[in-house]
């Protein structure tokens, strides 16, 4: 059998004298982009609202409210598709009020505020809509704790941008320790890439000490706030460093919720009210006939420990939830899924949802993940959206998986992978590929091409495989944007889209990057490059006996310059490997170990002569050099 190492040594210019079974463990190249870092900007020092952590929802032709300590005279919103000046309508002690033009394109915008002395930019702080939504696709996630889990957070952000929910809520624990600057830089590096309106909840890890979270406040703003999105109303509360909500915040929440009668109300705070032990006990539905039933929930240990230690405030919070008809209560902290539904004495349902964490420190075999909830302004929660396909409301883990699980092998981070080729506004051949390895379908995914403006759209050939949809074209600032609409990414499928003006007849180029042994597996890695429309996918197989088998797991990591790196977990040592790469034009290239086969009887090689050890040779050479040097010195002295 031709072994993988034989090919590797041949590639390196070596010659094998006999088959070697054990694979060489090689230094492996970096196969994925590193999580980005950003400068720490204290967004909330001079602007209280809106903020990157609390974007303001506003309609076309509506009024934008700004609260700032500056004397704001000008405001502008902008993104890559457009820029709009906002006329100042009025100002008073409560804030500045700006008119949003009727022709503003719906979307998420940066806000640029100017006074006579300075200008401040608040990224992703204004959310413009054409009308108030009847339904929201709400993505709930949290518990990152950078710097350690920065790669997990970066992967989550990339997937969220593809899924393209209407709104997201981050449920706290942004950083491991607030005094570590790299933690904030790594959190902001990924957070600033989010293309979705996102509301942030403070977690216990953001506090310097109990009751003190000054760094968080300077960057992300208030610990408690409320936001109205048409008939949806979000209230965010702090659970402090020790995991419970103080009475002053509960009373404040009760007051603001009283102004949202008839709206779908959402309450978000970091520590959950219900204990994760309920899922071990098989409890997921709770019926209450009065507020006093909360005492029974306490005594029966339904309530999470940090809240149970403060029964007065916990009962007050529960009373506000029931009496103000809060339908959705989102929490995190416990680093695992938890779904609990409470049916009150009026027959109304209240859903307490905790998604899986993004963090590094989760339970063995538990997954990292998020929830994608569908909620309606008539008070309905789509029960099916509270759990991942193939699981159930109380069948755990039931978040949409971000990875294969803590300690699970083969391990994979990211089951929604996608990449663009040449999508920079400078190329006329642009490609997109998305691979969905999940059991869940995602519709209205976000795909945007950026093309030069010198060629008409009618001159392009379009490729669309695995989905159907349409697109609109917008020209702005020298770039032609092709915005695809109504695209679905079905479960366990791939979607390919391309715009092309030229032909591509050149096959991709495969490079073997190395292999390493990992337990019972051999992990082999390849890179694929393509000078035309771009590399699309790769098929990897290994041979056991007479059979070609698929690896236990294949991962794909786009890196710079349109290169894709593939990693395959093969449950064998020294197996033959075959890899076939395809580009978007259908060209292919095959890699397999290439060892010349003998054509006839081979002469017996001469017996190897004993060779002088390398170390001995080097010592001898060094001795000669020293001797000659001394000889020269002696002669000069003479």
Q: Using CA atoms, how far apart are residues 65 and 78, in angstroms rounded to an integer?
A: 17
The whole-number average pLDDT for the span 613-632 is 47
CATH classification for the domain delimited by 416-500, as one of 2.60.40, 2.70.220, 2.60.98, 2.40.50: 2.60.40
Nearest to 402 by CA among 363, 371, 448, 428: 371
DSSP structural state of residue 146: B
Residues of the chain with pLDDT > 70, as a percent, come to: 88
CA dihedral in degrees (489, 495, 497, 503; nearest 10)? 180
Q: Is the pLDDT of residue 20 over 90?
A: no
39-48, 124-133, 218-227, 605-614: which has the minimum mean pLDDT? 605-614
Q: Which helix (H) or strand (E) holds 264?
A: strand 264-268
> What is the structure's pLDDT at 631?
52
Q: Using CA atoms, how far apart are residues 381 and 385, in angstroms rounded to an integer?
A: 8
Write down the CATH superfamily of domain 136-401.
Metallo-dependent phosphatases (3.60.21.10)
- Antiparallel, parallel or unpaired: β 264-268 and 95-99: unpaired
Q: Is 619 or 36 the better-scoring residue by pLDDT?
A: 36
The whole-number average pLDDT for the span 330-339 is 98
Show the tokens assigned to 443. 């519709």
SS (H, E, C) 27-48: CCCCCCCCCCCCCCCCCCCCEE
CATH number attached to the domain at 4-30+507-591: 2.60.40
Dihedral sign for Cα atoms in the order 363, 366, 367, 372? negative
Query: How far does the chain reach from its first CA to its final CA, in angstroms?
Result: 68
The whole-number average pLDDT for the span 55-75 is 97
CATH 2.60.40, the chain: domain bounds: 4-30+507-591, 416-500
**Residue that the structure tokens 């997201």 belong to:** 168
Residue pair 110/79 in contact (Cβ under 8 Å)? The answer is yes
Report if pTM > 0.95.
no
Show the tokens assigned to 209. 């000490």
> What is the structure's pLDDT at 594?
54
> What is the structure's pLDDT at 596?
46
Q: Is the pLDDT of residue 393 over 90?
A: yes
> What is the structure's pLDDT at 593?
76
> What is the structure's pLDDT at 61?
98
Q: Using CA atoms, how far apart are residues 243 and 306, in angstroms rounded to an integer?
A: 5
The whole-number average pLDDT for the span 73-96 is 97
The whole-number average pLDDT for the span 353-381 is 97
> What is the structure's pLDDT at 149?
97
Q: Is the pLDDT of residue 2 over 80?
A: no
CATH 3.60.21.10, the chain: domain bounds: 136-401
> What is the structure's pLDDT at 606?
46
**Residue that the structure tokens 């959705």 belong to:** 328
Confidence of residue 561 (pLDDT cuts 50, 70, 90): confident
Confidence of residue 557 (pLDDT cuts 50, 70, 90): very high
339 by Cβ neighbours in 10 Å (0-12 / 13-18 / 19+) ranks as buried
Confidence of residue 635 (pLDDT cuts 50, 70, 90): low
Confidence of residue 562 (pLDDT cuts 50, 70, 90): confident
**Residue 235's beta-bridge partner residues?**
226, 267
> What is the structure's pLDDT at 68?
97
Q: Is the pLDDT of residue 21 over 50?
A: no
Residues of the chain with pLDDT > 90, as a percent, come to: 85
The whole-number average pLDDT for the span 362-388 is 98
Other CB atoms within a 10 A radius of the CB of residue 14 amount to 11
The whole-number average pLDDT for the span 467-485 is 97
> What is the structure's pLDDT at 636?
47
CA dihedral in degrees (499, 505, 506, 507; nearest 10)? 90
> What is the structure's pLDDT at 438?
98
Confidence of residue 145 (pLDDT cuts 50, 70, 90): very high
- Average pLDDT score over the chain: 90
Which of 31-35, 60-64, 569-573, 574-578 is the most confident on average?
Answer: 60-64
> What is the structure's pLDDT at 31?
45
Q: What are the angstrom distances between the C-alpha of 136 and each of 132, 231, 305, 375?
A: 10, 10, 32, 5
- 158 in the Ramachandran plot: left (φ > 0), alpha (ψ -120 to 50) or beta? alpha
**Residue that the structure tokens 């505020």 belong to:** 113
Q: Is the pLDDT of residue 292 over 60?
A: yes
**Residue 126's beta-bridge partner residues?**
56, 109
Q: Using CA atoms, how far apart are residues 500 and 457, in angstroms rounded to an integer?
A: 10
Other CB atoms within a 10 A radius of the CB of residue 106 amount to 12
Confidence of residue 574 (pLDDT cuts 50, 70, 90): confident
The whole-number average pLDDT for the span 143-161 is 98
> What is the structure's pLDDT at 617?
42
Confidence of residue 623 (pLDDT cuts 50, 70, 90): low
Alpha-helical runs (H) found in 455-536: none
The whole-number average pLDDT for the span 438-446 is 98
Confidence of residue 559 (pLDDT cuts 50, 70, 90): confident
> What is the structure's pLDDT at 24?
33
- 519 in the Ramachandran plot: left (φ > 0), alpha (ψ -120 to 50) or beta? left
7-11, 81-85, 134-138, 531-535: which has the minimum mean pLDDT? 7-11
Q: Is the pLDDT of residue 172 over 90?
A: yes
**Residue that the structure tokens 């083969």 belong to:** 410
> What is the structure's pLDDT at 391?
97
> What is the structure's pLDDT at 592?
83
Nearest to 338 by CA among 375, 310, 302, 294: 302
* Complete DSSP assignment for 401-439: ESBS-TT-SS--B-SEEEEEES-SSS-S-EEEEEEE-SS
> What is the structure's pLDDT at 611?
42
């Amino acid at each position: 059998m031709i072994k993988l190492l034989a090919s590797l040594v041949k590639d390196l210019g070596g010659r094998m004298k006999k088959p070697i079974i054990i694979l060489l463990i090689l230094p492996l190249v970096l196969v994925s982009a590193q999580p980005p870092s950003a400068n720490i900007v204290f967004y909330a020092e001079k602007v209280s609202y809106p903020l990157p952590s609390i974007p303001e929802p506003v309609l076309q032709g509506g009024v934008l409210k700004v609260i700032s300590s500056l004397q704001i005279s000008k405001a502008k919103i902008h993104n890559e598709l457009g820029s709009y000046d906002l006329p100042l309508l009025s100002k008073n002690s409560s804030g500045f009020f700006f008119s949003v033009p009727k022709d503003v394109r719906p979307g998420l915008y940066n806000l640029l505020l100017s006074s006579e002395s300075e200008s401040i930019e608040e990224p992703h702080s204004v959310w413009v809509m054409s009308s108030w939504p009847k339904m929201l696709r709400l993505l709930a996630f949290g518990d990152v704790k950078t710097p350690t889990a920065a790669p997990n957070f970066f992967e989550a952000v990339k997937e969220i941008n593809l899924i393209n929910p209407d709104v997201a809520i981050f449920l706290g624990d942004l950083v491991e320790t607030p005094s570590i600057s790299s933690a904030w830089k790594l959190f902001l590096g990924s957070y600033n890439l989010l293309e979705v309106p996102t509301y942030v909840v403070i977690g216990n890890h953001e506090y310097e000490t109990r009751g003190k979270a000054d760094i968080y406040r300077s960057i992300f703003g208030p610990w408690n706030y409320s936001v109205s999105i048409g008939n949806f109303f979000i209230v965010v509360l702090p659970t402090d460093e020790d995991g419970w909500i103080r009475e002053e915040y509960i009373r404040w929440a009760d007051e603001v919720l009283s102004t949202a009668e008839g709206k779908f109300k959402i309450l978000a705070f970091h520590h959950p009210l219900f204990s994760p032990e309920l899922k071990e006990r098989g409890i997921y539905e709770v019926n209450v006939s009065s507020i006093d039933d909360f005492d029974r929930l306490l005594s029966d240990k339904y309530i999470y420990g940090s809240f149970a230690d403060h029964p007065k405030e916990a009962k007050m919070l529960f009373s506000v939830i029931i009496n103000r008809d809060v339908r959705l209560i989102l929490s995190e902290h416990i680093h695992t899924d938890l779904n609990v539904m409470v049916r009150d004495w009026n027959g109304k349902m209240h859903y307490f949802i905790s998604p899986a964490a993004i963090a590094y420190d989760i339970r063995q075999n538990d997954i990292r993940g998020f929830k994608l909830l569908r909620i309606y302004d008539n008070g309905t929660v789509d029960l099916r959206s509270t759990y991942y396909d193939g699981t159930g409301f109380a069948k755990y883990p039931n978040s949409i998986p971000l990875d294969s699980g803590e300690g699970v092998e083969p391990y994979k981070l990211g089951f929604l992978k996608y990449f663009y080729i040449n999508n920079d506004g400078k190329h006329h051949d642009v490609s997109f590929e998305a691979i969905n390895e999940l059991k869940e379908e995602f519709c209205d995914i976000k795909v945007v091409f950026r093309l030069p403006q010198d060629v008409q759209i009618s001159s392009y050939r379009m490729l669309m495989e695995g989905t159907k949809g349409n697109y609109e074209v917008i020209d702005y600032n020298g770039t032609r944007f092709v915005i695809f609409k109504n695209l679905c990414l079905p479960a366990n499928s791939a979607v390919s889209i391309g715009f092309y003006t030229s032909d591509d007849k050149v096959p991709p180029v495969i490079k073997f990057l190395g292999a390493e042994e990992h337990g019972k597996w051999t992990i082999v890695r390849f890179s694929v490059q393509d000078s035309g429309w771009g590399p699309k996918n790769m098929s990897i197989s290994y041979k056991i006996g007479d059979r070609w088998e698929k690896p236990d797991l294949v991962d794909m990591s786009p890196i710079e310059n349109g290169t894709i790196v593939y990693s395959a977990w093969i449950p064998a040592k020294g197996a033959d490997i075959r890899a076939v790469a395809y580009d978007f034009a259908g060209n292919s290239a095959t890699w397999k170990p290439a060892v010349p086969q003998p054509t006839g009887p081979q002469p017996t090689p001469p017996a190897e002569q004993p060779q002088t050890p390398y170390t001995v040779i080097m010592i001898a050479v060094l001795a000669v050099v020293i001797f000659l040097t001394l000889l020269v010195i002696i002669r000069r002295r003479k």
